[in-house]
Amino acid sequence: MDAEARRALRLIQRYVSGGRYRVLDHFVKRLDARGMFWADVEAVIDLPQSVRDDGLDRWNRPKWILQGTATDGGRIELVCALDEDDDGELTVFITIYWKKV
């Protein structure tokens, strides 16, 4: 993980622990359809195996992919963007999926 990825991870961790995040409907639908739980998301955020830059999303927000292990031992990836609203900075959860090995 390079310095920029470590910085993004620290921001994401700080925003989530401070309740500064949004979960898009798409994310919730994918979480449910794939049999995942919020605990899986937290596991990846707390201890990711990798964090990689995924460029900018369609709203020009920096987008990051975090890969890690779900609570059941499966490998998952979640995609989030760094954003700002009227109350300050936050992360936006875009989608989540099982990582094919």
Contact 101, 75 (CB under 8 A): yes
Contact 41, 63 (CB under 8 A): no
Write out pLDDT tens, residues 60-94.
999 999 999 999 999 999 999 999 988 999 999 99
pTM as predicted: 0.93
Number of structural domains (the chain) is 1
Cα 90 from Cα 86, distance rounded (Å): 10
Q: Give 25's Cβ-side CA count (13 Å radius).
A: 0
Show the domain range for 94: 3-98
Write out pLDDT tens, residues 22-46.
999 999 999 999 999 999 999 999 9
CATH number for 32: 3.30.2310.40
